[in-house]
Structure 1
Amino acid sequence: MKRILIGLAAITASGLSAQKSDSTLKKAFQDKFYIGTAMSLPQIDGTDQRAAAIIKKQFSSVVAENCMKSMFLQPQEGKFFFDDADKFVDFGLKNNMFIIGHTLIWHSQLPKWFFLDKNGKDVSPEVLKQRMKNHITTVVSRYKGKVKGWDVVNEAILEDGTYRKSKFYEILGEDFIPLAFQYAQEADPNAELYYNDYNEWYPEKVKAVITMVEKLKSRGIRIDGVGMQSHVGMDNPSIDEYEKAIVNYSNAGVKVNITELEISALPSPWGSSANVSDTVAYQKEMNPYTKGLPKEVEAKWEKRYLDFFGLFLKHKDKIRRVTLWGVTDKQSWKNDFPVKGRTDYPLLFDRKDQEKPVVQKIIKLAEKN
């Protein structure tokens, strides 16, 4: 009898353990929207196996953090390097994930040759169009039917609603955006096509992006979603400001993608920015938590995450995907931006690859909604 009771206790304990391990982000959000993460090269090539295991268990969508950007895919004209991108896509396919390609046209992390002729001068509009078409067609065609959604154009509009004066804009004007979407659509008619940007909640930027969406649609060019990068801090944007942006984008007839979410617990020198060309001098007061977050700061940080996920769940009918920009704190780009050498805690898993308490709170919130 004693043996039976012990056995029952063991079974019960085992059941509880299994139940706990079964509570994952992927399962909690399966009927709501894709829950995803960006993958770094060590996770893609298998050297960071612990983070890769977290991705398999917790997430239903993946995006490459860097290896599908043009400077890596086509470092020299006509010479493509697909090894890392192939591994990334294979990982997603093997684990039945919704794979996102990031990014086809972006002014940053672009090979130097892209805009230059043999004399080092700006290329003509015709040459730039051809280079864009060749790059997009080659990349999108390679992963046709495998990559389910593409960030076609990234960060082309400024906070005041004007166009960024990138070389794409200087040479082709606003037309580089519809051209990019046209080329991507022709290369894979079934892939979802997105415009992606940061500070995407600024009212003038929202208006400009919606105008761009309307222009594309009026020309018969498909755009399926707007990517809200969601690099946010503790104070701004407000939930109300963010909700207005989500609703306005949705009303324009596109799905909303939360594409690069993390919440920095550290003070920002200028509020909220994600322009990778910006840097500020290191300041001690900008790196206050080198040994971990104080309890009261951690509590506020958790509430901030829960407020955002509460908002996403409220508008789950409008949202296609929520993607974290990384798996663990140790890999986050926020450790070096906007101040080099900071110690930040912006993601859901800690530096020891352990799930933070907020993960189960997010799961419970999802299960109630």
Structure 2
Amino acid sequence: MINNNSFFSIFKRAALVFTSALLVAQTNIQCKLKHNASAAHHPTQAENYKKGLKDYYKNYFPIGVAVNMAALKGADSALIVHEFNSVTPENDMKMGPIHPKENEYNWKNADAIVDFAVKHHIKIRGHNLLWHNQAPGWMFKNADGSEVSKEVLLKRLKDHITTVVNHYKGKIYAWDVVNEAIDDDSTKFMRNSMWYKICGDDFIPKAFEYAHAADPKAALYYNDYNSEHPAKREHIYKLLKSLVDAKVPITGVGMQGHWKLNDPTPELLRKALDEYSSLGLKIQITELDITIRMPRSRPANLNTQANAANANLLPVPDAGFTPELEQKQAAQYKMVFDIFRQYKNVITGVTFWNLSDKYSWLDSRGGGLAGGAAAGQTSSRTVRKAYPLLFDENLQRKKAYWSVVNF
């Protein structure tokens, strides 16, 4: 027979055992929850590789890449499909390649890029409708070789823009309409191109009007480099404000983003984003790459374009892509993308200029004296690798890639 004291003693011990078991179970559950939460923030390497840049930035803006025909096959094309949700033809839609003669259009390469993008449900940016570089000579000449009048040139421009935009209507969501019309010389305003010499600055609003008439749904951008540098920034702002005030159908500004390890600073980048967006315009980073090559010092007697070109041919030792340069590049990419995300309400796309370090237009520029200049077709200069992109020569993700997606 169990007396009352024994009963209560047994009950007390049972209660203590039950309480201890409950505490252990709760601790195990909490540990498991913490582990799961931690795993959610730190996915495995295999899980990381399932995601592309477009997936990391799906709540921010499209991530694009400039492509050429060689990129549409093999491992390059697979990487494009996995990582990007926007493409820009690097050269094949520019006026010279696509419209080499007055009554001749060369659609083959541009159509192949558009078809590739449509097949893989990738957005397409058109680049570009008007530029001083890669413009065919016939555009500015009469049959007898004399210079055309303003009226003739604007008529030819209208025909070109209308034909090209209509050809891709419904497939291309945004166009770089006018490219690099502002002079690099801070004492000047407009670049003294053939467009400007013949038409004054009227060719700029006209180009936007022609593009809008051809496709009212397309977003239309003015595109330029060094757009964050104070003097040029103010000139670009002046141009954009004049277009906005005149109610020209312009959507936004393309900041090319041909940058370096120490340029731009966060302050310069923020200032440019603030100024352009204050006009009610959207912003796209259109040609992003960050070279590891610092510009060389300009010789004191370097006064002409010819001398500048010759200086760029001088051999310069190539130290390669060192761990120190790799770290600096990753830090600069992290800085600019940290800022991009903060401006997601005005930035509507970020496009890298080329896919990987296997090929970059910068490789033939030798580090450059001019810095940031336009991404045209490269010359036959000696290749000096710039290593400016997120993927290495073997299409593998670089440290800079992880600095962009780990946020």
TM-score, with length taken from structure 2? 0.80
Other-structure match for 2:175: 150
The whole-number CA distance in structure 1 between the counterparts of 2:246 and 2:341 is: 33
Match of 2:283 in 1: 256
Q: What are the equivalent positions in structure 2 for 1:1-369 lying under 5 Å apart?
A: 16=44, 18-44=46-72, 46=73, 49-159=74-184, 160=186, 162-269=189-296, 279=309, 280-285=311-316, 287-289=317-319, 292-338=320-366, 340=381, 341-365=383-407
Mean CA deviation greater in 124-133 or 204-213: 204-213
* 1:310-344 deviations in Å (ceiling 9; x for gaps): 11112111211111001011210111014532122
Q: Which amino acid aligns with 2:178?
A: V
**3-state DSSP of counterpart to 1:331:** coil
CA gap 1:245/1:270 in 2 versus in 1, 3 angstroms: farther
What is the Cα deviation at residue 18 of structure 1?
Answer: 4.8
The alpha-carbon distance between structure 1 residues 329 and 187, as it changes in their structure 2 partners (threshold 3 A), is same
SS at match of 1:68: coil
How far apart, in 2, do the equivalents of 1:250 and 1:181 lie?
A: 19
1:188–1:270 distance in 2 versus 1, CA, 3 Å? farther
2:164 counterpart SS class: helix
Q: 5+ residue gaps in structure 1? A: 1-14
Find the aligned partners of 2:45 and 2:265 in 1 and give their Cα distance: 38
Determine the structure 1 residue equivalent to 2:25: none
Contiguous gaps of at least 5 residues in structure 2? 1-42, 299-304, 368-380
Larger Rg: 2
Partner of 2:20: none
Q: Is the 8 A contact 2:330 2:401 kept in 1?
A: no
- Runs of 4+ in structure 1 over 6 Å off: none
Distance 2:314 2:394 in 1: 26
Work out the CA distance in 1 between the residues paired with 2:223 and 2:366. 20
Code of the residue aligned with 1:91 in structure 2: it is: F
| Letter in structure 1 aligned against 2:139 | F
CA contact (8 A) 1:348 1:359 kept: yes
In the TM superposition, what whole-angstrom CA distance separates every residue of 1:118-144 from its partner, at most 9, and x where no partner exists? Answer: 121210011101100000000000111
Number of aligned residues: 342
- The DSSP-based 3-state class of the residue aligned with 1:37 is strand
Determine helix, strand or coil for the equivalent of 1:31.
coil
Q: Using the alignment, how far apart are the partners of 1:91 and 1:102 within structure 2? A: 16
TM-score (ref. length: structure 1):
0.88
Query: 22-31 vs 124-133, which deviates more?
Result: 22-31
Q: How much identity, in percent, do the aligned residues show?
A: 38
Q: Deviations over 1:132-162 (max 9, x none)?
A: 0000000000111100000000000023260
Equivalent position amino acid for 2:293 in 1:
L
RMSD over aligned Cα atoms: 2.0
Following superposition, the deviation at residue 206 of structure 1 comes to 2.0
Query: 1:267, 1:18 → 2: CA distance?
Result: 36
Name the SS for the 1:158 alignment partner. Answer: coil
| Per-residue deviation, 1:207 | 2.3
Q: Residues of 2 paired with 1:270 and 1:192: CA distance?
A: 40
For 1:288, the aligned partner's letter is D
> Would the alpha carbon gap of residues 270 and 175 (structure 1) be closer, same or farther in structure 2, given more than 3 Å must change?
farther
SS at match of 1:163: coil
Does structure 2 retain, via aligned residues, the 8 Å contact 1:23–1:360? no
Q: Which has the higher contact order (CA 8 A, sep 6+)?
A: 1
1:75/1:195 CA distance change after superposition, 3 Å: same
Cα distance in 2 for partners of 1:232, 1:16 equals: 32
- Tell me if the contact between 1:233 and 1:266 (Cα under 8 Å) persists in the aligned partners: yes
Q: Following the alignment from structure 2 to structure 1, what is the Cα–Cα distance between the partners of residues 315 and 99?
A: 39
Amino acid at match of 2:118: L
Q: What SS class does the counterpart of residue 191 from structure 2 fall into?
A: coil
Distance in 1 of aligned mates of 2:227 and 2:178: 14
